[in-house]
Amino acid sequence: MTALAAAHDALRNVDDPEYPGLSIVDLGLVEEIEERDGVVTVGLIPTFSGCPALKMIAADVAEALTERPEIDSCQVEWLPAPVWSTDRLSDLGRQRLARDFTVVLRRKDGTLRCPVCGSDTVRDQSMAGPTRCRSIAWCDSCRNAVEVMR
Ligand SMILES: [Zn+2]
């Protein structure tokens, strides 16, 4: 396996610390993977700047890469652009966020669809979520609290 293929492979196994079982690839954090003279450089996009998870993700990526015998050394960078949006989520990422973490994605028009029952009766409850990245909303139909990914 080439160093580049090994890097792709390794990144698939790096989970976001906030969403165990969901890889940073499916979350759309990986923007570029390059290899030059045995050094693999990975460019990541933060989902939300200032997230405390960022340091952890970079460390996990570096660890996953250096564990591969094909990769001599690596660099992990956070890129200032492009800006992350929910469009970057893979289909699997979307499904798993909704099903396993009851995370709802805000539509372009600002409305919310309940990830549990699928109704449009989700309303924002407070801006204070588990982390600064997310907020909690409430579904009037199934009476579940859901997390809104901003
Ligand atoms: Zn619901």
- Centre of ligand 1 to C-alpha 101, Å, is 13
In Å, how far are 57, 78, 87, 91, 93 from 20, measured between CA atoms? 12, 21, 20, 17, 12
Q: Enumerate the CATH 3.30.300.130 domain ranges in the chain, comma separated.
A: 3-78
Q: What is the pLDDT of residue 41?
A: 97
For 71-117, the pLDDT digits (tens) are: 999 999 999 899 888 889 999 999 999 999 899 888 878 888 899 99
C-alpha 134/C-alpha 95 separation (Å) is 18
Q: What is the pLDDT of residue 91?
A: 93
- Centre of ligand 1 to C-alpha 24, Å, is 27
- Centre of ligand 1 to C-alpha 131, Å, is 22
In CATH, what number does 3-78 get?
A: 3.30.300.130
Neighbours of 69 (CB within 10 A): 9
User: Cβ-count burial of 4 within 10 angstroms (0-12 exposed, 13-18 middle, 19+ buried)?
Assistant: middle
- Centre of ligand 1 to C-alpha 27, Å, is 23
- Centre of ligand 1 to C-alpha 50, Å, is 30
